[in-house]
Amino acid sequence: MIKIQSSRFGELEIDENEIINFPCGIPGIPFEKFILRDLIEPVKWLIAVDDPDVAMLVVPPFKFFPTYGFELSDEISSILEAEKEEDIEVYVALLKYNDGVAANLKSPFIINKNKKIGVQILLEDEKYSFKEPIKK
Amino acid sequence: MLVLTRKTGQSIRIGDDIIVKIIDVDGSQVKIGIEAPKGVLIFREELYEKIKESNIEALKASKELRPEDLIK
């Protein structure tokens, strides 16, 4: 168990086993180790272990966008060491949108929850945008 | 910036394990093939910048958003 002080979360107790490694990095964020923590169902924090004040809100997209979907390339599956679909969790970052909330559907975070490996991918699909409003 | 002149079919090697090959040139468009090891993600520069901007915006938004608005 690692204990880390952060201004936003106070003292964070992090179990080594919950650390998700992003071996390819996350564009714009100079860290590779993250944890997921529940905020309010279904919203979670994606928190950088080396600097917990670097954190974003994420949600599984399917609840808000039921038709959301994409195929994982062999390359990404191999980075994730994913053998079956059940190993995979998908999250999208939340953004502000006028008075409401939007999600970045264009570049989701794909996580192998068993092996604790994550990758942020980019979807070529034109129908997904970087800022898609979420209807309440 | 290093600038190299290449013909169609010729390649450039970056380090031990990245190969950039000129596949085709058609007017102002160049088709490029890239071989890189697993774990090196390749993006079009302008899209990489957009992912980056969106992530930075998400870090900022996380300080201002009220996630409870989502669950009403």
CATH number, position A66: 2.30.290.10
Interface of B with A in 8-37 (CB under 8 A): none
Structural domain count of chain B:
1
Q: What is the pLDDT of residue A12?
A: 92
pLDDT band at B72 (very low <50, low <70, confident <90, very high): low
Residue A82 belongs to domain spanning: 2-133
Residue B51 belongs to domain spanning: 11-71
Using the Cβ of A134 and the Cβ atoms of chain B, whether some distance falls under 8 Å is answered with yes
Using the Cβ of A24 and the Cβ atoms of chain B, whether some distance falls under 8 Å is answered with yes
Q: What is the pLDDT of residue A136?
A: 64
Residue B3 falls within a domain, yes or no? no
Query: How many other CB atoms sit within 10 Å of the CB of residue A69?
Result: 12
Q: What are the respective helix, strand and coil percentages of chain A, to the nearest 5?
A: 10, 40, 45
Structural domain count of chain A:
1
Using the Cβ of B50 and the Cβ atoms of chain A, whether some distance falls under 8 Å is answered with yes
Average pLDDT over residues A79-88: 91
pLDDT of B68 above 90: no
pLDDT of B32 above 70: yes
Residue B15 falls within a domain, yes or no? yes
Q: Global pTM?
A: 0.92
* Ordered alpha helix ranges (H), chain B: 45-61
- For residue B24, the distance in angstroms to the closest alpha carbon of chain A comes to 22
Quote the ipTM score.
0.94
Using the Cβ of A31 and the Cβ atoms of chain B, whether some distance falls under 8 Å is answered with no
- For residue B33, the distance in angstroms to the closest alpha carbon of chain A comes to 15
Q: What is the pLDDT of residue A19?
A: 97
Residue B5 falls within a domain, yes or no? no
pLDDT of A43 above 90: yes
